Amino acid sequence: MSSTFSNWLGPTPLTRRKALWGMALVAPNVLGLMFFFGIPVLMAFFTSFQKWNALRPPQFIGIDNFTRLVDDPAFRQAFLNTLKLLALIVPAEVILALAVAAMLNQPLRGRGLYRMIYFLPVVTSTVAASIVWSSVFQPRYGVLSALLAPFGLGETRWLVEPGLVLIPIAVVAIWQRLGFDMVLFLAGLQTIPLELYEAARIDGANRWQRFLHVTLPLLSPTTFLVVVLAIISGFQIFDQVYVMTLRIVPGGVGGSATTLSYYLYRRAFTFSEYGYASAIALVLFLVILVVTLFQLRVQRFWVYYEAGDA
């Protein structure tokens, strides 16, 4: 082992042995990540500059796939649909998860059971959940129709109407991610020192003021993480769209429910345009990267860290 590498691992033999053991333990995960994610990402990058249908040899066409995206109205509509879904999902997901976490952070009887119930949708199959929710949104025999019948909305065609079809998809996405976000918020709530609440109570702050001036500022790092993950997940929505619209009109009437991920799938596996689909995947990756970097950039204006945590 060279002296430079030894110095990099640590100043003493003990620290070097610990570093080597740590590298050996994480090596299987790192290798698996490189094999199952790194190599496909590189292949998608090179394929995005080619015309390839998986049958004939790939043909290099430069940036033609990307220039085609600019003039593709279906791509623009898919991008707009994805943004609409994000506008529906992210605020509702964050607010509901925070509300549930705050409620289940109280000393309630059976609190562990309630937490488990809220977390169950996270481990539920997305396909199975989407099928069940599709029956809920059925216009004539669905549960929602029975509930809305007294208001004259009993036979609303949620899964067909272009202006409504994104709502059921957003509901399923929120329902499935609520438990995961709740766990993150619970972890953040339990790190807030109780002394701060006691001091605020002594100063005369009511429950709402304690939540507004103590809980929210100290919970801002967790909120930031939840928002970032919710946006990334929203950009990748596919299963709900595929299952809930396939049996009626794939991708919604006139493409009204087609998201970027679903459009990518159709270009690749329906039309065998793997080069064009790879270009869409690369654009989706860049959009998520830019949004994440922007959020990391602006977090210093609203994310509060306690002294020593930054």
**165-222 tens-digit pLDDT:** 999 999 999 999 999 999 999 999 998 888 888 898 988 888 889 888 888 888 888 9
CA separation for the pair 46, 26 (Å, rounded):
29
Q: What phi-psi label fits residue 184: left (phi over 0), alpha (psi between -120 and 50 degrees) or beta?
A: alpha
Q: What is the DSSP string of 14-63?
A: HHHHHHHHHHHHHHHHHHHHIIIIIHHHHHHHHHTTEE--SSSPPEE-TT
Residue 221 confidence (pLDDT): 87
Mean pLDDT of 225-254: 90
Mean pLDDT of 79-106: 94
Neighbours of 198 (CB within 10 A): 11
Q: Which two tokens stand for residue 124?
A: 């539920």
Percent of the chain with pLDDT over 90: 47
Stretch(es) of the chain classified as CATH 1.10.3720.10: 65-301
Residue 310 confidence (pLDDT): 46
Residue 7 confidence (pLDDT): 60
Residue 86 confidence (pLDDT): 95
Q: Judge whether residue 152 has pLDDT over 80.
A: no
Q: Judge whether residue 71 has pLDDT over 60.
A: yes
Residue-wise pLDDT for 28-66, tens only, equals: 888 888 888 888 888 889 999 999 988 889 999 999 999
CA separation for the pair 169, 263 (Å, rounded):
16
- At residue 308 the predicted structure's pLDDT band, cuts being 50, 70 and 90, is very low
- At residue 234 the predicted structure's pLDDT band, cuts being 50, 70 and 90, is very high
Residue 171 confidence (pLDDT): 95
| Coil/strand/helix, residue 12 | coil
Q: Judge whether residue 309 has pLDDT over 80.
A: no
The answer to whether residues 85 and 234 touch, using CB atoms and an 8 Å cutoff, is yes
What are the respective helix, strand and coil percentages of the chain, to the nearest 5? 70, 0, 25
Q: Judge whether residue 75 has pLDDT over 90.
A: yes
Mean pLDDT of the residues in the chain: 87
Phi, psi of 51 (to 5 degrees): -105, 120
CATH architecture group of domain 65-301: Orthogonal Bundle (1.10)
Q: Judge whether residue 6 has pLDDT over 60.
A: no
Q: Judge whether residue 2 has pLDDT over 80.
A: no
- At residue 3 the predicted structure's pLDDT band, cuts being 50, 70 and 90, is low
| C-alpha distances out from residue 64 to 41, 77, 273, Å | 20, 20, 13
Q: Look up the pTM and report it.
A: 0.85
Q: Which two tokens stand for residue 257?
A: 């429910």
Residue 283 confidence (pLDDT): 92
Mean pLDDT of 149-166: 84
Q: Judge whether residue 9 has pLDDT over 80.
A: no
- In 3D space, the residue among 205, 215, 229 whose CA is nearest the CA of residue 295 turns out to be 229
Residue 51 confidence (pLDDT): 93
The answer to whether residues 189 and 102 touch, using CB atoms and an 8 Å cutoff, is yes
Neighbours of 147 (CB within 10 A): 12
More confident residue, 310 or 60: 60
- At residue 253 the predicted structure's pLDDT band, cuts being 50, 70 and 90, is confident
